[in-house]
Amino acid sequence: QVQLVESGGGLVQPGGSLRLSCAASGIIFSIYTMAWYRQAPGKQRELVAGITDGGTTTYTNSMKGRLAISRDNAKNTVYLQMNSLKPEDTAVYYCNAAFRHEGYWGQGTQVTVSS
């Protein structure tokens, strides 16, 4: 059974930082491309950042320079460091694992940026 469990979300003031974690089980983690998506109320889910099995990273333009995605294959975990957070970053953040035609989602973690 595949499980992706996100953690690290919460309430943060504008300009603050958060580090999200996603622990995977039930997959050969090291061969999967891992990604973070987000979905704000009334909006479509969008890609935030991704990291391939080889470590190549990609970031959404709207948050570029404020993000760092990393993975620890020994811990089956992917991380998303978010800095200089803005109110418009408020959303549910989802972890995704993809390999060829397989894809899995976590349950999401809420990030709220507000003073």
pLDDT digits (tens, 9 = 90+) for 68-106: 999 999 999 999 999 999 999 999 999 999 999 999 999
Sign of the C-alpha dihedral computed for residues 15, 52, 99 and 4 taken in this order: negative
pLDDT of residue 93: 98
The pLDDT of residue 63 is above 90: no
pLDDT of residue 64: 82
pLDDT of residue 62: 86
The pLDDT of residue 13 is above 90: yes
